[in-house]
Amino acid sequence: MLSSRALSVMSLAEFPKTLPEPPEENGLDFLENAVLKARYYNQATGLICLADDSGLCVSGLGDRPGVYSARFGGPGLSDRQRCLKLLDEAETLTDRRAFFQAALVLANGPQILVGSGRLDGLLSIKPKGTGGFGYDCLFIPLGFKRTLAELSPKTKNRISHRFKALQALEKEISQQPGFFSS
Active site residues: 53
DSSP structural state of residue 21: P
Q: Is 116 helix (H, G, I), strand (E, B) or coil?
A: strand
Distance CA 113, CA 95 (A): 35
For 10, residues 6+ apart whose C-beta sits below 8 A from its C-beta are: 47
Distance CA 4, CA 44 (A): 26
**C-alpha dihedral, 149 to 3 to 104 to 167, nearest 10°:** -80
Using DSSP, how many helices (H) and how many strands (E) does the chain show? Answer: 4, 5
- How far is the first Cα of the chain from the last one, in angstroms, to the nearest whole number? 20
Q: Is 85 helix (H, G, I), strand (E, B) or coil?
A: helix
Note whether 142 and 84 are within 8 A (CB).
no
